[in-house]
Structure 1
Amino acid sequence: MRVIYVLCVLGVLVPDAAGGRRHHRRHDCPPFTCGHLSDVSFPFRRRGDPPECGVQSYELTCADDKATIQIDKETYSVSDINYGDSTLWVVDASFLDSRSSCLLPRWNPLLRDPRLQAKSHHIIELAPPVGVTWASFVNCSQEIRNSSWMYMPVACLSTSRSFVYVFTGQQSAYIQNLEPSCGYLATTPLGGSKLNSTSALQNVSYQDVVKLMMTGFAVRFPFTVSGWNFKECLALSIRIANIAIIDFYFWSCFLLGDRSHNNLIYTYMVVDTALLILKWTAVLCRFVLAPLAVFIFLAHKYWRNKITIDAVEKFLQMQLTLGPTRYAYTDLTAITGHFGEKLGQGGYGSVYKGVLPGYVNVAVKVLENANCNGEEFISEVSTIGRIHHVNVVRLVGFCSEELRRALVYEYMPRGSLDKYIFSSKRSFSWDKLNEIALGIARGINYLHQGCDMQILHFDIKPHNILLDDNFVPKVADFGLAKLYPRDNSFVPLNALRGTIGYIAPEMISRSFGVISSKSDVYSFGMLLLEMAGGRRNSDMHAGNSSQAYYPSWVYDRLIEQQVGVGEISAATVANMHELERKLCIIGLHCIQMKSHDRPTMSEVIEMLEGGVVGLQMPPRPFFCDDESMSPMMDSYQFSSGLTEILEEDE
């Protein structure tokens, strides 16, 4: 009887609470006037309105006959609201307050995270409509004279060494339409219809763009209710609980009226309560706890994969307009001919040869350990995806579908440098070796100094230097690379990373100095010594520790001027080729134990471009001391292969 009564009351209350609550939210708040806007209604609200009126994310500020709204923490003036197509017309408030005629918009103010989740479970969206025309401002290191896009100069923002241009179009924000010497400064959507035709694009000047920016642009404001909030659910639960309490006290009062049957009444109440508890416990276990346990188990398995996918997808959405081409996995299957020609196997996956439309050869690296946190994938796309340099391998595109990920590079037909410098027959002349070393140094220096953010590679070694048809070297494999501000001299790292034999001492112990761009200089120095000698920097077959540690061996021969240097030269040190001697001396400069004793990559380039005359022998590195080498060699096990150390999250 009591159960039927509670269910009947609940059946009446639930529709009433839901319908009444939602109706109150939409219609009980009258329209209002805000600045020059009149008849403003749901989902918009004013600051200070009751919580049930409108949505917090659509809150308008009304002051001085103006209506403003906050979008991505920036203020925009609202000039019109169209409820028919759910759009509002906004103007950057900073433009209206500025008296300058030389304006530069914010960088992608509406593309950082266009879909937002409000606290009241309302799905909102504040983003420009699809197909809008964009104006992109670019900063170029050299003057643009001939281009398929109309680069219009912005004289008030340009200098003698920096040329600022603006060009418009629906695809102006795509990086493939950017000139190699240019980088993006800012981009903004444009309103109106003047720029929607090809003929109008040919006559758009900076002054025209400023006028259009001052008129503003449209953004969407769709609104969807996803369900009740916590307060509504809690209020309904309290009302149902009150009904059960009233029912309990009614029967207690009725039965306790007859004092002669107290024992029977108490027994009835205890038994009734115990049966009620057992019944609801069984129902709870069967219909709540058991499904909840299954749900938690499945959710845990799903979450482990989903968190990686979400992190990568969020990153890719941010890179959508500026990054390389995104391919579907089926596209890669067609490009590689069903992965028929395998080029090699690396620590992160297999590499296959492919052909793009237009007979452009590419190398497709399929990542096999894709169930990790995706950090290596994000690092590769975020670093190499923004680089355009002759000595850095170019990332053509990428693929990310669930846990299947791949990277598409330009094809390097000559392979990696290690198979040439470690061969029994010397493959290059000394002039060519010096040219290759100079190209590698320029590529690394571009990573350190040529980008907005300093890129530290942390894994410079012969295997990661690729050669094109003309043996032009290109730095590759950015899986361990990190981005840091260029003015930061200290780089925090929580884990060891790199390849044994090329890791700078400060990566192991901070007593040798701080981790910085000089860590890549150390790895490059080891690479130079291997290029000069044609052998790895460690050799387990050497007769003693001094010979096993190759830099020590080179240093002794250069200092003592002894005969029979072996792999350095077949003649005496005095008869060494001057370029061979130069590579060895520069390499020893780069591998100094203290990071502050090493040159920068810019200084290394100057030494490589100059002659051997004037090069001073550096101090003897700490690890070159025989006393220090013996215990170190006993505890250090060398192998013919290289051991790669990956970063692990703590």
Structure 2
Amino acid sequence: MKRAITISHLLFLQTCAAASLIHDCPVSSCGSGTIRNITHPFRLRGDSPHCGDNRYQLDCENNTTILTLFSGKYHVLEIDYKRYTIRVSDAGVAEDAKCSFMPRYFLHYSNFSATYLGPGLDPLQLGQGQGQASIAFFNCSGPITDDSRYVAVESAGCGSGGHVYAVVKDSINDFGFGVKDVKVGCQLKVATYANWGTQKVSNEKVSYGDIHDALWRGFGLSWLYVVCEERCGKGKGCRVVDESSGEVQCDQQDCSWVYDGNKATYDCGKGGNSHCCLNNKY
């Protein structure tokens, strides 16, 4: 009995020591860039191995903090450790001064597992409720005059070989762009996300200046579900209740998510009559 207690005590001390190492890591920064508070769970490439989480590794290139997401490079504009969000923008918008009308990397909601069904399998999820919109770029063989959603883009000298248009949709209400959004003679070139603000796209007359500004503002990603699992248990959900301190509140219902490949469903328990299943039918 005494031996078991001793082993448990040693394990406890080792765990505490590991946690202490993580919290003792110095804050990293990327040159003279705007991101000067890189800390757990993020890490900068080259930081001590015990600092941060490898799933949240950032790079510093030309004094710019870079997040690699699905093999694409995104400039990090802001990290909010109280809301558990990171705001990024497509590198092409910032780096290619001549042809910055066109993002480099294709990003779609399907890139993220179980985005709309609770915690996903990815370390980062698309931020919801932040005024984010989907933006798609189409290259068309001729001018589009019968659809006001198609906003003409000035693309002279950028090798587009046609008429380039951008189309914006509210990402909260739409799962992306489908066949009905593509006009005859047009091909989808690239799609991404951007922070549109508080107004719905459908309520505005959109100009390309608006679209370009939104692309510069980037879009938000959240690592909250990882925080929920750390503080509330694996598969558990939570929400931020105090943005000044980063305090989260675990779901009061005993609701857990189970995964079958990329599909997430509630674990309803024996008989499937739990409160979660009765009130959350997806």
Aligned partner of 1:58 among 56, 73, 77: 56
2:19 aligned with 1:22 = yes
- Uncovered stretches (5+) of structure 1, i.e. residues with no partner: 117-122, 228-305, 315-400, 402-650
Matched ranges for 1:4-83 at <5 A: 4-25=1-22, 27-34=23-30, 35-83=33-81
Change (3 A) 1:173 1:8: closer
Provide closer, same or farther for how the CA distance between residues 59 and 22 of structure 1 changes in structure 2, counting only shifts above 3 A.
same
Q: How does 1:249-268 map to 2 (within 5 A)?
A: none
Q: 1:159 to 1:12 in 2, by over 3 A?
A: closer
Q: Which residue of 2 aligns with 1:190?
A: 194
Pair 1:154 & 2:142 matched? no
Deviation at 1:114, TM superposition (A): 2.7
Written as runs of structure 1 = structure 2, the 5 A alignment for 1:216-235 is: 216-222=218-224, 223-224=226-227
Cα distance in 2 for residues equivalent to 1:107 and 1:38? 26
Displacement, 1:55?
0.9
Q: 1:221 to 1:179 in 2, by over 3 A?
A: same
Q: Deviations over 1:428-479 (max 9, x none)?
A: xxxxxxxxxxxxxxxxxxxxxxxxxxxxxxxxxxxxxxxxxxxxxxxxxxxx
Letter in 2 for 1:9: T
Amino acid aligned to 1:45: R
> Alignment partner of 1:174: what SS?
coil
* 3-state secondary structure, aligned to 2:29: strand
Per-residue Cα deviation, 1:42-69 (whole angstroms, up to 9, x for no partner): 1111222121100112222235432222
Q: Which amino acid aligns with 1:310?
A: G
Which residue of the partner structure matches residue 206 of structure 1?
208
Cα distance change, pair 310–46 in 1 and its aligned pair in 2 (3 A): closer
Contact 1:71–1:126 (Cα < 8 Å) also in 2: no
Match of 2:177 in 1: 174
- Amino acid of the structure 2 residue aligned with 1:153: A
Q: What are the residue-to-residue correspondences of 1:558-573 with 2, within 5 Å? A: none
Pair 212,105 (structure 1): closer, same or farther in 2 beyond 3 Å: same
CA distance in 2, matches of 1:8, 1:184: 64
Question: What CA distance in whole angstroms lies between the structure 2 residues aligned with 1:30 and 1:161?
Answer: 50
Over 3 Å counting, the alpha-carbon distance change for 1:160 and 1:5 in structure 2 is closer
Q: What's 2:82 paired with? A: 84
Q: Could you say which structure has the higher strand fraction?
A: 2
SS of the equivalent of 2:189 reads strand
* 2:10 counterpart letter in structure 1: L
Q: Check 1:80–1:28 CA distance in 2 against 1; reply closer, same or farther (3 A cut).
A: same
Asked if structure 1 preserves the Cα contact closer than 8 Å seen for 2:72 and 2:105, the reply is no
Give me the whole-angstrom Cα distance separating, in 2, the residues matched to 1:81 and 1:17: 30
Identity %: 22
Give 1:603-622 correspondences, 5 Å limit. none
What residue number does 1:310 align with?
A: 261
Counterpart amino acid of 1:191? N
Secondary structure, aligned partner of 1:167 = strand
Question: How far did residue 107 of structure 1 move?
Answer: 4.7
8 A contact 2:133–2:196 mirrored in 1: no
Answer whether contact 2:92 2:100 (CA < 8 A) is retained.
no
The number of residues matched between the two structures is 221
Letter in 1 for 2:83: D
User: Which secondary structure state, in structure 1, belongs to the residue aligned with residue 203 of structure 2?
Assistant: helix
| Aligned counterparts of 2:83 and 2:46: Cα–Cα separation in 1 | 27
Q: For the pair shown, which has the larger CA radius of gyration, 1 or 2?
A: 1
- Shift of the 39–153 alpha-carbon distance from structure 1 to 2, 3 Å rule, reads closer
Give me the CA root mean square deviation.
3.6
Which SS does the other structure have where 1:40 is aligned? coil
> CA separation in 1, counterparts of 2:160 and 2:195?
32
TM-score (norm 1): 0.30
Between the two structures, name the one with larger relative contact order (CA 8 Å, sep ≥ 6).
2
2:137 counterpart of 1:137: yes
CA contact (8 A) 1:68 1:77 kept: yes
Give yes or no for contact 1:45–1:56 (8 Å, CA) kept in 2: yes
Matches within 5 A, 1:428-507: none
Cα contact 1:142–1:161 (8 A) shared by 2: no
Task: Report the CA distance shift for 1:76/1:161 in structure 2 as closer, same or farther (over 3 A).
Answer: closer
The change in CA–CA distance for 1:71 and 1:179 in structure 2 (over 3 A counts) is closer
Q: What letter is aligned with 1:18?
A: T
1:160–1:76 Cα change, 3 Å: closer
Aligned to 1:109: 107
Q: 1:135 to 1:86 in 2, by over 3 A?
A: same
The one-letter code matched in structure 2 to 1:133 is: A
When residues 9 and 67 of structure 1 are mapped into structure 2, their CA distance, relative to the original with a 3 A threshold, is same
Q: 1:136–1:187: 8 Å Cα contact kept in structure 2?
A: yes
